[in-house]
Chains A and B, each alone.
Chain A
């Protein structure tokens, strides 16, 4: 692959870097206006998103295409650091969507709050790292891209600098992240020793021969643990609840909707590419079984813990852990429909969970407390916002007519289709979904069936507040965007399914 192509591909990503530098520069020359920082960030993200969609082949955007169509999904060569797969481009779109939601919502923050420049600058840098994750074809490049995202997000969690809670969350996130990086790089070094290369393609081609070697096995095991921390795989999940709880609300939305998805795509690359290229669309038996067990453990532990939570953010964090379990099912199964289902689930989770965290942030800004019981009567006082929140909760529970139903449907039917052991994975997944309905329904009951106590902290009266309910335009538009996507693709998922299907099948044909 020639380097002009590489440069052209990174033009849109450079837009993010340029945006970040511009934000920091504006801060230095004392243009301390939230709208300036937010405007730059939103423009950079939207511009990049447009170019990614054009590269994916959207007819309306064809004119903005930055890489030749022939390069997308072309087989990768051993020396390549990058591979432009349509699945990777789809994931770039997903990452940018998460960043866009958070950037929009943060426009409604109180304008006297400090650190807006730091927030938007780091948000753009973290997104830049995720863009690189999506095109990686080499272990070192992949881990480095993940680190760009991770290092930006440690700082993003603690960017307010004055409050002890976010700082403590930032510290915990940092320690866990450093631990995960050390383990991942150690794993990569062992894989280099075993295969003589860090290229996923080379690893893939030698995988069948070297799979049983102790060096290679140890390398994959270290990578499993290292990346397991990133994607909150049980038993490496405990940090996530504290970090999501302690981080500022918008940052929690970005962590759950954005950075964790980058870790999941890294999981796809590390555990599917070698296997796909080397030995057909199946993992080696022991690894497959291990991943399946961990995926089921992740969803079950997350759901059971969420049942017992009475704080809203911690409940959502545990539910986020359980959702990661569903997505990892796709890696364990490893067939085209399973990858399609996992991708769909990841896309759905961005609008559902990032949206839910944004709603929690909006509600907290109105002076409502952090506990589930504090949401009593919200359905009466903030009718519009509550409908959006209810849609997100129903989607997370997998109720039909929301996007969450189809994503789980595709995933579980792929598991059944794969047969054998995987049928039990589907059963475990369905049982877990049923279990999760309990705690989502509990929030809905509190919001709609229980009367509010006292007067509304925001209005001082007891009547409903319409139409935006004091949300501010930025946050209102981000939440509305989520709600529209949830309903629109919940009713007609066909366009998404077609894209994800072709992405998944091309991904499986990557090295051929």
Chain B
């Protein structure tokens, strides 16, 4: 249905987005930057949906992918809103949004 090389390239792009996002989630100590990393990682999935929908063989299949993309975008916004709420509460209690400084619970 599509040129395999184009698919590989696109998957490389979304894969890179995912890896950048995951790397940020695992290494960032500032909660705001961490939220941005989460957003990047989720956008990798959105990009995939849009790409596969653009090359879908029929309209119903394309619609499924496009609506999935919209749903995931809305979900990412919700996720970030909740994250910001947690940051605000943390900042009030601790006066800091550094993730590494929260270490009362030991592994």
Contact = CB atoms under 8 A, between A and B. Distances in A.
Interface of A: 140, 144, 147, 151, 154-155, 158, 161-165, 167-172, 174-175, 178-179, 181-183, 185-186, 188-190, 192-193, 196-198, 238, 241-242, 245-246
A181 B46 CA distance: 12
Nearest to B87: A171
A57 B34 CA distance: 48
Closest 4 CB pairs of A and B: A189-B48, A182-B41, A185-B45, A193-B52
A190 B21 CA distance: 17
Given A171-B31, A175-B25, A182-B44, A158 B68 contact: no
A178 B45 contact: no
Given A164-B104, A182-B18, A189-B52, A171 B41 contact: no
5 contacts: A158-B86, A175-B38, A185-B75, A186-B48, A196-B56
B20 to A, nearest CB: 11
Nearest to B69: A189
Contacts of A168: 90, 102-105
Contact of A155 (B31, B45, B56, B82): B82
Contacts, number: 123
A186 B45 contact: yes
A186 B79 CA distance: 16
Given A181-B42, A182-B42, A189-B45, A171 B99 contact: yes
B45 A188 contact: yes
B72 interface: yes
Question: How big is chain B's contact interface, by range?
Answer: 35 or more
Contact of A174 (B49, B82, B93, B104): B82
B25 A154 contact: no
A176 to B, nearest CB: 9
Contact of A161 (B48, B65, B89): B89
Most chain-A Cβ atoms within 10 A of its Cβ — which of B45, B48, B56, B72? B45
A151 B85 CA distance: 12
Nearest to B26: A179
A242 B57 CA distance: 47
Contacts of A147: 75, 78-79
A179 B22 contact: yes
B9 to A, nearest CB: 14
A50 to B, nearest CB: 31
Contact of B86 (A140, A165, A170): A170
A158 B93 CA distance: 12
B16 interface: no
Nearest to B67: A140
A119 B105 CA distance: 22
Given A193-B52, A198-B68, A186 B18 contact: yes
A188 B22 CA distance: 17
A468 B65 CA distance: 56
A169 B45 CA distance: 27
Contacts of B90: 167-168, 171
Nearest to B85: A155
A151 B79 contact: yes
Contacts of A167: 86, 89-90, 93, 102
Contact of A169 (B25, B44, B57, B105): B105
Contacts of B18: 182, 186
Given A168-B102, A169-B105, A182-B21, A175 B34 contact: yes
A179 B41 contact: yes
Interface string B73-102: 001001100110110011011100001001
A197 B61 CA distance: 6
A10 B101 CA distance: 44
Given A164-B94, A170-B86, 14 more contacts: A140-B68, A147-B79, A163-B93, A164-B104, A167-B89, A168-B90, A172-B105, A182-B22, A186-B41, A188-B45, A192-B48, A193-B48, A197-B64, A198-B68
A226 to B, nearest CB: 10
B68 A242 contact: no
Contact of B82 (A154, A196, A241): A154
B54 to A, nearest CB: 11
Given A162-B93, A193-B52, A246-B105, A185 B72 contact: yes
